[in-house]
Chain A
């Protein structure tokens, strides 16, 4: 480019010869273009509507069919198998509820400490290990959950011979939860403004103390959000536990006993030949969905609290 201020080329003398042609063509096409735009915009709206319909329909069915199943006994009695004599004797789902809670607690104990630490590691370290682990956890976050079940089976049930137990199921769920916790912890820690970190360092604190006392407390909301989301995911997953928990029929909290879980109960009884069991399944589904919704909404509210604090 020339250093001179003058333009290198002299622009043309103005010639509006093309203007008429441009205007007449565009005028003739305009109505059609505008109509086409309106139609396409409407179609997009239709798509949104179509996307909303299944959700609404599903929720309606859930409440319609499930609500009638919910009563006190539902939560407190063990399941029974209907017989020809008493075809409506389905009992309750206390084993599934106890199982789900137990599995979730054990899985959280396994996954949350490790997950948070790894997340902090990824946020604060710049090494090859960190980069690879980041890719690994992103890939695992999207991995089919049944693979976690296969892993748990292969490792615990088979190699370590632990058998079909709650611990095996918790392990599978923990592996499922880990990537979610890791990623959200990393995001939460990275979101802490650098100025906070630098202020701590400027006051003479050692880097690890800054991390512990300044950075972590500021990121706690994000970390908690991630954990809640991970839990909400674990609660609803069938495939990881399907293979390894054994479908226990007791209200046992023991980690080395077989155990049931709500998603499993749904999966097993959905194809039952007893209409009463199929009806009961809607009740389980409703409880499960409500549970998951509460967890998701809590996470969302928690996350937006974090946004407000940030602002």
Chain B
């Protein structure tokens, strides 16, 4: 584990004073004054924080606070939505992902995503699903595909249970297994960052716990940013926490960003405290 060097720096954002501790070691992604608006209506704003490498950063807050909207800005999924505008700067390893010298397709091979409901491609087998990302990107060499498939299925703790039936249709797996398949699929490209949008909310409790266990080892391989509406989950699995809340103008804003320990035990902002105590949902 990296030595934790905390340098307290005060960075004033536009409307509220948010104390954003800088780097806890190397940084995977940096967000500065990020805001997302749809047809002029702001959905989330004032997001400034650093996603540290090989740690799990969770975005928490009640519904409507813009967590998922923010997450989707990180792999430029909003490019698909007409009328969506992302302002501020988001950088991956120092390169601005919107304005820098980085194509969208390249970005997405370095920043992967897992969705709320497991979504393996229905017409493909388990193997084809896992290597689909590699194939999209032009990799055809069988040995490379096989190696990546095994490595990522192992990382998703799925190898032992599917290695004997790789050619079986992916829809044969249970919900939890399908989600782990999706994780493996995203990991096959060996991304630097893995975005997870409420990955366990559609799963049963046992499958949920399996995946939470998984995340503890996943972070050794990738940096994880996870959106969760389940506070306890965030407390269990994440290292750093960003708390977002919907403001009076119905736009979500970043209230506080810090280590999970601080957010849950001793937050700076009273609203954070209210949320973690369950005073509002």
Contact = CB atoms under 8 A, between A and B. Distances in A.
Interface in B126-170: 134, 137-139, 141, 144, 147-148, 151, 154-157, 159-161
Specify which of B156, B160, B189, B190 lies most central, judged by the most chain A CB atoms within 10 Å of its CB.
Answer: B190
SS class, residues of chain B in contact with chain A: helix
B137 A15 contact: no
Given A9-B159, A11-B155, A22-B190, 8 more contacts: A5-B210, A8-B157, A18-B148, A22-B134, A22-B148, A22-B189, A25-B137, A30-B138
A33 B213 contact: no
A21 B139 CA distance: 9
Contacts of A28: 138
A29 interface: yes
Given A22-B134, A22-B137, A33-B138, A14 B106 contact: no
A7 to B, nearest CB: 5
A6 B148 contact: no
Contact of A7 (B105, B189, B213): B213
B174 A1 contact: yes
Given A9-B157, A34-B105, A29 B137 contact: yes
Interface in B187-210: 189-190, 206, 209-210
A36 to B, nearest CB: 11
A11 B154 contact: yes
B117 interface: no
A7 B214 contact: yes
Nearest to B151: A12
Contacts of B209: 5
A273 interface: no
The 9 closest A-B pairs by CB, nearest first: A29-B138, A26-B137, A14-B221, A19-B190, A11-B217, A12-B154, A7-B157, A9-B160, A11-B155
A287 B193 CA distance: 64
Which interface class (under 10, 10 to 19, 20 to 34, 35 or more) fits B? 20 to 34
Given A22-B148, A25-B137, A25-B138, A6 B103 contact: no
Nearest to A33: B138
Nearest to A27: B106
Interface in B51-74: none
Nearest to B103: A30
A5 B190 contact: no
Given A9-B157, A25-B138, A29-B138, A14 B213 contact: no
Given A15-B151, A18-B147, A29-B137, A5 B213 contact: yes
A236 to B, nearest CB: 38
A206 interface: no
B220 A30 contact: no
A35 B209 CA distance: 43
A153 to B, nearest CB: 49
